[in-house]
Amino acid sequence: MASDFVWFELVTPDAKAAEAFYTVVVGWTTEASSGPAGPYTIFKAGEFPVGGMLEMKDVPAGWLGYLGVDDVDAFAKKVEAAGGAICKPPEDIPGVGRFAVVADPQGAMFVLFHGDTNDAPPRPAPMSPGSLGWSELHAADWEKLFDVYAPLFGWVKHDTVPMGEMGVYQTFGPPAAAIGGMFNTYAPAPSPYWLYYFCVDGIDSALERVKAAGGQILTGPHPVPGGAWVLNAQDPQGGLFALVGQRG
């Protein structure tokens, strides 16, 4: 069975400021909770929990995606055997599940996760405001990384999109549908990383909210196949994220 992203987590040095930013920009509501590392904030799109936030003063701000797997310990060993690294060994979250933080062979970090129940959590409708719209790997060499991710998570290649001098943009996902893309660029971050696209009602109004709330627009908006528009941005604490929505 192919793996998909099941949760997203913002690690930030200032949770209060980040909460104010993302609730305005993306339209999420929040709910206070707790986790192994202390207080935890849950982001919700309507009634659906879609992600969380953890305050950590000594690490750079950034988003982590959780990939659902059937055995966290076994998959962590597989990532390591494929040339990646285990950044945080497998650990239980009481009443929630088990997780491990890992990095692929080029350094892009993500989380392996298995819930305490086998029931898939309910999700908002695809492309609805606040939902995840796309997951994108900015790589030093995407072809080498695809050969790592594909056998681990059951992903296949979907569309290959030419980008001129930048090479190609390779979409990927389970056989049924693409869930993200990979390409050879990792600016402005100093190393390869995963970038997550959150859906908004309108891309132009979202752009103005980013700027008004103290964020920075890095690229876009620009059109993508299917009629949507995207932009890449940075929150006031330095976390990189992207937005996808319609124009007009």
In the chain, where the domains are located: 5-115, 132-246
**117-153: per-residue pLDDT in tens?**
766 667 888 789 999 999 999 999 999 999 999 999 9
Q: Please report the pLDDT score of residue 119 as a whole number.
A: 66
**64-113: per-residue pLDDT in tens?**
999 999 999 999 999 999 999 999 999 998 889 999 999 999 999 999 99
Percent of the chain with pLDDT over 90: 80
Mean pLDDT over residues 152-180, rounded?
A: 93
Q: Does the pLDDT value for residue 226 go beyond 90? A: no
Q: Does the pLDDT value for residue 212 go beyond 70? A: yes
Q: Please report the pLDDT score of residue 194 as a whole number.
A: 97
**Nearest residue to 140 (alpha-carbon basis) of 97, 181, 98, 190:** 190
**13-44: per-residue pLDDT in tens?**
999 999 999 999 999 999 998 877 678 999 99
Between 126 and 58, name the one with better pLDDT: 58
Mean pLDDT value across the chain: 93
Query: Per DSSP, what are the bridge partners of residue 219?
Result: 232
Q: Does the pLDDT value for residue 48 go beyond 90? A: yes
Q: Please report the pLDDT score of residue 191 as a whole number.
A: 85
Q: Please report the pLDDT score of residue 44 as a whole number.
A: 96
CATH class of the domain comprising 132-246: alpha beta
User: One fold for both 5-115 and 132-246?
Assistant: yes
Query: Per DSSP, what are the bridge partners of residue 232?
Result: 219, 242
Q: Please report the pLDDT score of residue 1 as a whole number.
A: 63
Mean pLDDT over residues 230-241, rounded?
A: 97
**Nearest residue to 156 (alpha-carbon basis) of 178, 131, 127, 134:** 178
Domain 5-115 CATH (choose: 3.40.50.1370, 3.40.50.720, 3.10.180.10, 1.10.3720.10): 3.10.180.10
Q: Please report the pLDDT score of residue 186 as a whole number.
A: 64
Q: Name the phi and psi angles at 28, rounded to 5.
A: -70, 155
Q: Please report the pLDDT score of residue 242 as a whole number.
A: 98
CA distances (Å), origin 66, targets 57, 211, 218: 21, 28, 25
CB atoms < 10 A from the CB of 20, how many?
15
